[in-house]
Amino acid sequence: MSNDTVTLIDNRTGKRADLPILDPTLGPSTVAIGGLPKALGYFTFDPGFVATASCRSAITYIDGEEGVLLYRGYPIEQLAEQSTFLEVAYLLLYGELPTAEELAAFERSITNHTMINESLKSFFNGFHYDAHPMAMMCGVVGSLSAFYYNHTDINDPADRDLAAHRLIAKMPTIAAACYKHGKGEPFVYPDNRLSYTGNFLRMMFAIPSEPYEVDPVAERALDVLFILHADHEQNASTSTVRLAGSTGAHPYASVAAGIAALWGPAHGGANEAVLRMLEEIGHPDNIPKYIAKAKDKDDPFRLMGFGHRVYKNYDPRAKIIRRHCYEVLEKLGKRNEALLDLAMRLEEVALSDEYFIERKLYPNVDFYTGIIYKALGIPTNMFTVMFAIARTVGWVAHWLEMVSDPELRIGRPRQLYTGPARRDYVALDQRG
């Protein structure tokens, strides 16, 4: 590196190049790197953050080559089999499995905060009945910062905990309200005698003043799905929550940013897209046509629910969900669900195709979930909302970890500037 150059390391290709640190007054150029950290001597170009660690974290470990996922050291398979969602939430937030007393106190705190302020109803009324539930959720969760703005000091650990508990507690209530608003039905208040998922199912499907029995099969099916979706280290939505939170933004606003990031079909929105894709494919005979589309570089279509930035092996969550899918449909008496057979056939065809083998594209967490949600009566446009309820635990766990980190700095990536070099303003009447 000379005084006027900086070494650029391209994380996509591994190539290094000495690039001039241009003085923009020198004239036009294709790449002008203004004000880069010359003292550092190098600069990494990493679109998509493929090889950039943005933080230290003790919450979740992934080995993408081996298909391993641990929450605070515990294998996801053991947690899905033996734990409950709120127990896992405690583990992710506080680092250890709770004792019976700690769990009871945590559950009490969560159930204390399930209600939403009555005036939030007016926010819902501002949305058209056919607004996407993720659009409503994003707006309504962001609006919680207005309700709690004066009561949340992010430098106070007790206030931080309270915000975390409130968010986890209120997400199912807000999610169910999004659904009810779309149907034009009155909201159902939480019943805090029920479990986290039982309460959610009742708020979704009960008609006020009519009796409602929570189906234990549906309750446990949802609990397992929530455990599997609770955290996944620095995925796009969690990174968004961290980036927003790194500025000192309010936790409710930071989580609203995470909901927005989750919504995209390349991330959590894939669960909705998978079901729509399966319905469009319709019959196993049509699978080759869709596989060909997915391989065609001139066609924007991708096989939804396939591929992952970190997993170059079967996503361990997808493996559990595939099995869970069988069991849940069986128990609900819906084993004749043709969509499951279609999805399994699609997986079989893709996994024996050279294109998918070469690129190590396997089913991800979003591939099979929609089939369970559908069997539980949850409409397709609510799938990503379900993901958001569960992922709130990860978002707040990362937010808590980040704001209590003495090394915290504002998140602020740099860029490779590719625009024009300095030039002078031209008066309107002299432009041609």
Ligand X SMILES: CC(=O)SCCNC(=O)CCNC(=O)[C@H](O)C(C)(C)COP(=O)(O)OP(=O)(O)OC[C@H]1O[C@@H](n2cnc3c(N)ncnc32)[C@H](O)[C@@H]1OP(=O)(O)O
Residues of the shown chain interacting with ligand X in the complex, contacts defined by CB under 6 A: 48, 266-268, 270, 294, 302-309, 359, 361, 364-366
Distance CA 207, CA 204 (A): 9
Q: Which residue has the tokens 């635990």?
A: 393
Between CA 7 and CA 16, with CA 12 as vertex, the angle to 5 degrees is 20
- The distance from CA 359 to its chain's CA centroid, rounded to whole angstroms, is 23
Query: Taking the complex as a whole, how short is the minimal distance between the CB of residue 52 and ligand OAA, in angstroms?
Result: 13
Q: Which is nearer to ligand OAA, 32 or 382 (CB)?
A: 382
Q: Which two tokens stand for residue 331?
A: 């128990």
Separation of alpha carbons 47 and 69, rounded Å: 25
Contact of residue 392 among ligand X, ligand OAA, none (CB under 5-8 Å per partner type): none
Nearest distance from C-beta of residue 422 to ligand X, angstroms: 35
Assigned token pair, 199: 């309460």
Pairing of strands 42-45, 74-75: unpaired
What is the DSSP code (8-state) at residue 414? -
From CA 9, how far away is CA 238, in angstroms rounded? 26
Binding track, positions 44-73, relative to ligand OAA; x by CB under 6 A: ------------------------------
- Closest to ligand X by CB, 366 or 401: 366
Q: Is 272 left (phi over 0), alpha (psi -120 to 50) or beta?
A: alpha
Task: Give dist(CA 216, CA 271) in Å, integer.
Answer: 24
Q: HSE of 24 in the Cβ direction (CA atoms, 13 Å)? A: 13
CA distance 36 to 22: 10
Q: Which of the residues 223, 231, 315, 366 is marked catalytic?
A: 366
Q: Which of residues 158-217 bind ligand OAA (CB under 6 A)?
A: none
> Which tokens go with 318?
């997808």
- Residue 421 phi/psi, 5-degree rounding, is -75, 175
Question: Is 113 designated active site?
Answer: no
Residue 167 binding partner per list ligand X, ligand OAA, none, with a CB distance cut-off of 5 to 8 Å that depends on partner kind: none
Q: Footprint of ligand OAA on residues 300-319 (CB under 6 A)?
A: 308-310
Q: Which candidate in 308, 315, 324, 398 is catalytic?
A: 308
Q: Write out the two tokens for 77.
A: 């398979």
Position among 365, 371, 382, 402 found at the interface with ligand OAA (CB under 6 A): 365
Residue number closest to ligand OAA, CB atom = 235
Residue reference for tokens 């980190």: 405
Q: For residue 6, how many other CB atoms are within 10 A of its CB?
A: 20
Minimal distance, residue 358 CB to ligand X, in Å: 8
Any catalytic annotation for residue 366? yes
Q: Choose between 251 and 268: whose C-beta lies nearer to ligand X.
A: 268
Structure tokens, 263? 């919504």
CA-based nearest residue to 92, from 245, 262, 238: 238
Measured in residues, the chain has a length of 432
For position 232 contacting ligand OAA by CB under 6 A, the verdict is: yes
Q: How far apart are CA 130 and CA 1, in angstroms?
A: 58
Residue 144 sits in the site that holds ligand OAA (CB under 6 A): no
Q: Based on C-alpha coordinates, what's the Rg of the chain? A: 24
Whole-angstrom distance, CA of residue 337 vs CA of residue 190: 31
Residues known to be catalytic: 308, 366
List of residues contacting ligand OAA (CB under 6 A): 232, 235, 308-310, 364-365
